[in-house]
Structure 1
């Protein structure tokens, strides 16, 4: 599933759309003891408009992540299609249209047993149908040639108990302390999924899309235990692994000029291919060549290529995950952030045996704790 496929689904995911319809919504509340307290399946027509609007907002957020960061596509291992295994459970839910009580029991039991979650939560699963019109070579739709893409969108939303303190009580005509608490379902899901994926404008039942609100801290239990997939590194972990490879391989040759050059070259590469259907990835050969172009020795560049290949096992990291929009320099309580190329603004110098980091200024004015001042 690429950016173009995802954009097509997102474009049509709103209540008034004629081509993408939410047919049914399954809702359940699981308490902190992993007990199911409530469950219902309703058709679109049964849900009040105000509530449906909130549900659409919640489910839509599952599709709004960035591919490779908040949205990651996972292949199902072969064994997950066996009976009562994750892929099979999702497939049966989809085929039976959220109507089979026994199947729903299995699905909820699987979720509550396998998922690690610190708060009570609400789980929403929507059964959706998108009418896909075929397109000619010019990208024009053929209104006489269409097929249906049936899919599930799931969202896990935390539920928090809220006591708002003092309230105005109309019956007593007085301001009193609120004694009852509300269990408020967050409209922003922490996790979610799309099954099957929409690949090449059609279903791919052998892949599932996982959504996380926190790309730096995904819920691995959902990926591995609920969905049955093999976890891959998050965007932040890819960056940290890449840094570790360069640090180990390049060593003393890793200076400000090299760091800035590598960052700039990967950024340029990511921008050049940003509109391609598949997000650009950084190969081991690319790592070697970028380091050589940045002035690193042949020996260190080839060592980095080797270590990177071993770290990724051929599943190369996304270019957009490996770069920084600004350069941050830190040392003993001092942090300096610099946008753009830092090499023409920063120099190091030794004066009277002390080392200094020199920053050139385009003008005399600087801001210190919000105050404007001039450097004489």
Structure 2
């Protein structure tokens, strides 16, 4: 899925567009006990409560692709009887009216999800009547040809409200506030099937994790069945290790600056892409070679890639391994922060036999907020 496709589904979670027919819930306490199981027609929920649910569903489809939102394609074997995709398909096709299937789904979540606190599993079913689209991208409400039959799961932490004082209007007193259990925004969730090219794709699902560094591979594997993807922080860490091992001890500052600049150029060139730009093994190899990594060091690349990234190649998202917001240079007792678009201002030179970083200054200099340009001597 891409941004436009996610946005189209997010727009359905408003009172005037919502087509959710059934909602199921399971409250799980800290001891992994099912304290509450519920199922009802979504239209029977009071309006104020409905607004809060719709907000949760919108947040389950929010975030940056490759970080909080991850596209997953089911392995073929998981589409056979007993597979993860086949199970989710049966769950969807039941319109959440089969209690045994719903209970089995709850057990899968509880048995594989790690949460430090209690949590609330919300599962909904909806059918979106997909409107036709003109060549200019304008929706035609009366020209619907297909439907998007889907389930959405949101898993929300539940924690007691903060202790404190409150004003009791009935008694006109300031008193200890009653602490109840509050359902927070979603921390995990998924959409099945995926909505690709404005249609249902039962071979894919969209996974959500509020924290990119906590995607929980075991949980993904239980729902998805395939090899869990690498998280965004993991991709960055492994890429840095790959670069360090390939360049070796004689890492050159100019090479690292070139890698930074070349990665950012790649992102700019693919900024308008609907799908995030991925780097294959060969793409990474060309990136390092084009950035000036010596040929004798590139001979180690294939071995290093298999050792660090793995033999089963997983592409790296450019946005996950590039630093678009900072370009930091650290040395003992010194940290230099440079605008990521102006890494060219810092050069590496040998001066009096010592390696030095030279910073070009064409404007003013400030020290602790004080302009000191006038004190500089030629």
TM-score w.r.t. length of structure 2: 0.87
Does residue 194 of structure 2 align to residue 197 of structure 1?
Answer: yes
Kept in 1: contact 2:254–2:347 (CA 8 A): no
Matches of 1:191 and 1:145, distance apart in 2 = 32
Question: 1:112 & 1:98 partners in 2: Cα distance?
Answer: 18
- In the other structure, the counterpart of 1:258 is 255
Aligned equivalents of 2:107 and 2:193: distance in 1?
21
1:69 maps to: 67
1:209-228 equivalences under 5 Å are: 209-228=206-225
Alignment correspondent of 1:319: 318
Deviation of the 1:196 alpha carbon: 0.6
C-alpha contact 2:129 2:144 (8 A) present in aligned 1: no
Give the Cα separation in 2 of the matches to 1:373 and 1:50: 56
Matched position secondary structure for 1:130: strand
Q: Is the 8 A contact 2:258 2:292 kept in 1?
A: no
CA distance in 2, matches of 1:131, 1:316: 35
Q: 1:224-280, CA deviations, whole angstroms, 9 ceiling, x for partnerless residues?
A: 234433211111111111111111112245322111111211221222122223322
The one-character-per-residue Cα deviations of 1:281-322 (angstroms, maximum 9, x if unpaired) are: 123333333333322222323533553366253332111112
CA displacement 1:309-362 (0-9 Å, x = unmatched): 6625333211111211221112335322211232323445556x8765443434
Give the alignment's TM-score, normalised by structure 1.
Answer: 0.87
Structure 2 residue runs without a partner (length 5+)? none
Question: Do the aligned partners of 1:284 and 1:309 also contact (CA within 8 Å) in 2?
Answer: no
Range moving further from structure 2, 95-104 or 4-13: 4-13
| Residue of structure 1 equivalent to 2:110 | 112
CA distance in 1 between partners of 2:302 and 2:8 (Å): 37
Alignment root-mean-square deviation, CA? 2.7
Deviation at 1:374, TM superposition (A): 2.1
Q: Which ranges of structure 1 fall in alignment gaps of 5 or more residues?
A: none
Matches within 5 A, 1:320-359: 320-325=319-324, 326-339=326-339, 340-348=341-349, 350=351, 356-359=356-359
Q: 1:183 aligns with which of 181, 184, 190?
A: 181
**SS across alignment from 1:221:** helix
